[in-house]
């Protein structure tokens, strides 16, 4: 899919949350086989899964470039400065970058699905059984953005809401 800045729509769902659509549909795509070093995390009462971008893997770098390209399109469309934008790609010195994805839920019910390639040994496992140091392929959704900007630019923050819709745990 070729992303066109003119086809990006923002639909306000609450005071500070906007849904992002491209040509009327949600932005969804699959990750390459990627490491989940920590399993599922709970931060600020939200479940997160961190994906580690291997800087030596071309597929991983391409995946990261797609995400950064989407961020740049949003920044350009909204005229947002880099200092105001909180990227979902977390650089780490002397280590691989990380991408934070929220586990999708509706009314406190998790809707992110998980499956294991080895179904026989992983019967009835849930997302909470996602092992640390596992490799996954996942469907990522750029759902929207949060915007808490004020008149004081140095305190401004805006960023993407990225969900992980489906996880396949590789063998």
Please indicate, yes or no, whether the overall pTM of this predicted structure exceeds 0.75: yes
pLDDT for residue 138:
97
pLDDT for residue 149:
84
pLDDT for residue 97:
96
Give dist(CA 59, CA 51) in Å, integer: 13
Q: What is the mean pLDDT of residues 86-93?
A: 92
Architecture per CATH, 5-169: Beta Barrel (2.40)
Give the pLDDT confidence of 102-122 residue by residue, as tens digits: 999 999 899 999 999 998 988
pLDDT for residue 153:
63
The most distant pair of C-alpha atoms in the chain lies apart, rounded to whole Å, by 56
1: pLDDT strictly greater than 70: no
* The Cα angle at residue 151 between residues 147 and 155, in degrees rounded to 5: 65
Supply the DSSP string of 71-89, one letter for each residue. Answer: HHHHHHHHT--GGGEE-SE
pLDDT tier for residue 123 given thresholds of 50, 70 and 90: confident
Q: Where are the domains of the chain?
A: 5-169
Contact by Cβ (8 Å): 65, 72: no
């Amino acid at each position: 899919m070729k992303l066109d800045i003119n086809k990006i729509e923002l639909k306000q769902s609450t005071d500070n949350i906007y849904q992002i659509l491209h040509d009327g549909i949600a932005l969804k795509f699959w990750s390459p086989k990627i490491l989940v070093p920590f399993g599922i995390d709970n931060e600020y009462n939200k479940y997160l899964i961190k994906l580690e971008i291997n800087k030596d893997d071309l597929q991983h770098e391409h995946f990261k470039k797609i995400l950064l390209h989407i961020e740049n399109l949003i920044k350009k469309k909204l005229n947002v400065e880099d200092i105001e934008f909180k990227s979902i790609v977390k650089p780490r010195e002397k280590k691989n970058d990380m991408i934070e994805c929220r586990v999708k839920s509706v009314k406190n019910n998790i809707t992110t699905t998980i499956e294991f390639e080895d179904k026989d040994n992983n019967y009835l496992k849930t997302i909470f059984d996602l092992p640390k140091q596992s490799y996954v392929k996942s469907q990522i959704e750029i759902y929207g953005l949060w915007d808490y900007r004020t008149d004081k630019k140095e305190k401004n923050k805006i960023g993407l809401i990225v969900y992980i819709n489906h996880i396949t745990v590789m063998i």
